[in-house]
Amino acid sequence: MAWISTKTYGAERGLTCALRQWPADSHCALLHGYSLAFRFTFAAEQLDARGWVVDFGSGGFGAIREWLHATFDHTLLVAEDDPARPELAQLQELGLARIQIVPGASCEMLARFVFEAAQPMIEKTTGGRCWIAEVECREHGANSAIYRNPDAVLREVSAEALTALAAQLG
């Protein structure tokens, strides 16, 4: 059985950014802003010496916290495939924005983007003992999306369960 813990990095933390979802057939295609929030679900088969899944201080979550602020705090998120990317990049050249190129600007794509950046960080700080099971990206109280680690389910299955399954399958 795996141990689970969560860390919520809420909207009150000030990850204020602007973005646009250029493919949308709505006002979401226009530049608009949010104070994004992220919720991390961590898992481990063993707790550390202090009885924790993850150290939420600078020794564990600190690198993720720093990366979140560098990536999302007072930035303009531009999807790598945004047809207006060259024009938006000029805002940085003019000193009017700090551009962050992302795979996509939807909550779904941002949740995956954060997972892919944070997973190697947590593996490094825990020596591979802990992993991220999922990341939730929240625009505000009504909208969010969750990206689940595709390997998490496999990691959580015990050796006994795999042996029993193998025996059943013959």
Kindly report the CATH number assigned to the domain that includes residue 69: 3.30.479.10
- Does this model's pTM top 0.85? My answer is yes
Q: Which residues, at least 6 apart from 39, have a Cβ–Cβ distance to it below 8 Å?
A: 6, 7, 8, 9, 135, 136, 138
Taking the C-alpha atoms of residue 77 and residue 80, their distance in angstroms, rounded to an integer, is 9
Of residues 13 and 96, more confidence is placed in 96
Which H or E element spans position 87? helix 85-93
The residue among 94, 79, 95, 64 whose CA lies nearest residue 31 is 79
- Which one, of 19, 137, 36, lies nearest residue 77 by Cα? 19
Mean pLDDT, rounded, for 1-21: 88
Task: Say if CB 160 and CB 167 are below 8 A apart.
Answer: no
Whole-number percent of the chain with pLDDT over 90 = 72
Contact 36, 127 (CB under 8 A): no
Cβ-based neighbour number of residue 144 at 10 Å? 17
159: pLDDT strictly greater than 70: no
132: containing domain: 3-169
Closest CA to 149 of 56, 40, 52: 40
pLDDT tens digits, one per residue of 93-152: 999 999 999 999 999 999 999 999 999 999 999 999 999 999 999 998 889 999 999 987
Which residues, other chains included, contact 109 with Cβ-Cβ below 8 Å and sequence gap of 6+? Answer: 79, 102, 103
- pLDDT of 155 > 70? The answer is no
Q: Which two tokens stand for residue 155?
A: 């990691």
In this predicted structure, what is the pLDDT of residue 13?
A: 80
User: Is there a contact between 137 and 36 (Cβ–Cβ < 8 Å)?
Assistant: yes
**Residue written as token pair 């226009």:** 30
Domain count, the chain: 1
